[in-house]
Amino acid sequence: MTTEEYGSAYKKGYTLTTRLLLARGMSWDGAQETAQAAWVRGWEKRSQLRDSKTIVKWINTIALNMYRTSIRREPFLEELPELAAPPERHLAAIDVQLILQTCKETDRIVLQSYYLEDHRTEEIARAEGSSATAVRLRLLRARRRAFEKTVTAISRATTTPTLAKCANG
């Protein structure tokens, strides 16, 4: 393909390439820039073109591939603006504090060390002067007791108002 043939194809096809990219959702400036880059790349790779009659289709394919690549490279997340209000206290942290308050002190120490401070059972065992197996067993029992106390407290909180309504009703 000669320079003149490519030039005339560019004059005919550039606006078609730009419109194709606009139809795919690109901005006007982005579509023009990508269309221009696609025609430049086509010029650089013109030796790979098999049929000079399909040059506009070939360039449009190059432009679409460039557009798809640019979409993949865009960051998925946008930075959020700073909030003027202070963050609210996390409810799960309040629940953890309430659960730990109901535990015995020995259970509380093991649960805090393991779950909140991220110590391994071997580290807790070294600090306590016991075996890792003993610490795992203490963790198991502490979790069970904390679960039972929490379930009991929740069932009391939900049944007491119901019983009061039944007595008054």
Euclidean distance between CA atoms 19 and 34, whole angstroms: 11
Total-model pTM: 0.45
First-to-last C-alpha distance (Å) of the chain? 94
Any domain includes 108: yes
Note the pLDDT of residue 151.
82
Q: Which domain holds residue 55?
A: 3-73
- C-alpha–C-alpha distance, residues 145 and 137, integer Å: 12
Task: Check residue 72 and give its pLDDT.
Answer: 83
**Weakly modelled stretches of the chain, pLDDT under 70:** 75-78, 80, 83-94, 159-169
Number of domains in the chain: 2
Q: What is the pLDDT of residue 35?
A: 94
Q: Is residue 112 assigned to a domain?
A: yes
Judge whether 44 lies within some domain: yes
pLDDT at 162: 52
Residues 50 and 107 in one domain: no
Question: Residue 132 is part of a domain; what is its CATH number?
Answer: 1.10.10.10
Last residue of a domain, one of 28, 46, 73: 73
Over the stretch 69-79, which tens digit does the pLDDT of each residue have?
A: 888 887 666 67
